[in-house]
Chain A
């Protein structure tokens, strides 16, 4: 069965620090990849997605992610985090031709002012 792992359960950073959240998946075929964000008390929102083309994708709020096919990875990055980035981040994989997304367990990001 497909699975998605996220390297960190909880990440704590100071404002202006750089961020990288790891995501790896287990599926040998073609996949669509997503990062979703859940701010405190809010619903899940799409941060960015990769379907095909340039493996470096840019999303909202200065986030970007790089798809490395050989490593089955789709890590999320931001050069300088803000307090407002405090949230839970979920990586998701949808195998092309598959039925539904498989989500990772989530990484909680706390940014200290």
Chain B
């Protein structure tokens, strides 16, 4: 597609529920990243996918967070047993190569109540 597409744009969920956030990167971009932006905070790196290599999960804050990327394209970030501190905007970005500049999606605003 023309840009990075994320869905849903907004998600309100009850504490303890699981949520899935979806990212559709730019076609042909081999690298895909998930970041989290909390109110008043910068961008916190979560996870990185490069082609068919094993993902870099070093930024995931707990084992409740997981992500996969199917067929080197669409990625899903899953948060299990959501907590209020998970409330944030979850941003996905893709790039042509690892060191190229990122193109960001519009993000998913997650609110845990």
Contact = CB atoms under 8 A, between A and B. Distances in A.
A43 interface: yes
A99 B43 CA distance: 15
A100 B101 contact: no
Contacts of B33: 100-101
A82 interface: no
A92 B93 CA distance: 14
Interface in A14-36: 32, 34, 36
B42 A99 contact: no
Interface of B: 33, 35, 41-43, 45, 48, 50, 56, 58-59, 91, 93, 98-99, 101-107
Given A43-B106, A43-B107, A102 B101 contact: no
A32 B106 contact: no
B42 A100 contact: no
A90 B43 contact: yes
B80 to A, nearest CB: 23
A32 B102 CA distance: 12
A46 B102 contact: yes
